[in-house]
Amino acid sequence: MRALIQRTSEAKVTIDGEVVGAIGPGLVILVCAMRGDTEAESARLAQKAVKLRIFPDAAGRMNRSLKDVGGAALIVSQFTLAAETKGNRPGFSLAAAPGEGERLFEHFKGEVEAQGVPVSSGRFGADMKVALVNDGPVTIWLETEPQK
C-alpha cells in the first residue's frame, strides 16, 4: 500500500458542497491499495503512520507521534498514488481493483482507529475536494512491500 502523509493544523473533505470529514491538528493520509495488497500491508501501513514521529517535542524536534500528541487522522482514498508516469498520460494498472481497493481502504481506517486515533474520512470513489493547512510543511511518502 502507498500513503502520502501531511502533518496538518486543520483539514476537511467536501463532497458536493457538504463537509463529510474534518479534523483539527493531526495527519491527512492519502492512501492507495496496490494490486496484490492484503490486510497485512494495510495494518503495517496504519501502524507506521500512527507511530511516525513527525510532530515537534518541547525542543522543537520531530520526536512525537500522532498518538503522542493526541491528533486525529483524515483518511482519503487516492488511487492516483498508483500512477505510472512513463509517458504524458498516467496509467493506474498498479492500483487494486475498485472493490478490493475499497475493502482495504476501510480496513486501513479501522486499523488506525484501533490504535486509539480519532478518524474522519472522505468517501471511497467520490469526487472530493480536500482542503488542509500543511503544518511545517511536513509531507512524507510511505509504502509497504507485500510480505513474501
Active site residues: 78-80
Phi, psi angles (nearest 5°) of residue 103:
-60, -45
**Phi-psi domain of 34 (left: phi exceeds 0; alpha: psi -120 through 50; beta: other):** beta
Q: Tally the residues of the chain.
A: 148
Residue labelled with grid coordinates 507511530: 51
Neighbours of 19 (CB within 10 A): 12
Q: Grid coordinates in use for 28? A: 491527512
- The span from the CA of 25 to the CA of 135, in Å, is 9
Which one-letter amino acid corresponds to residue 77? S
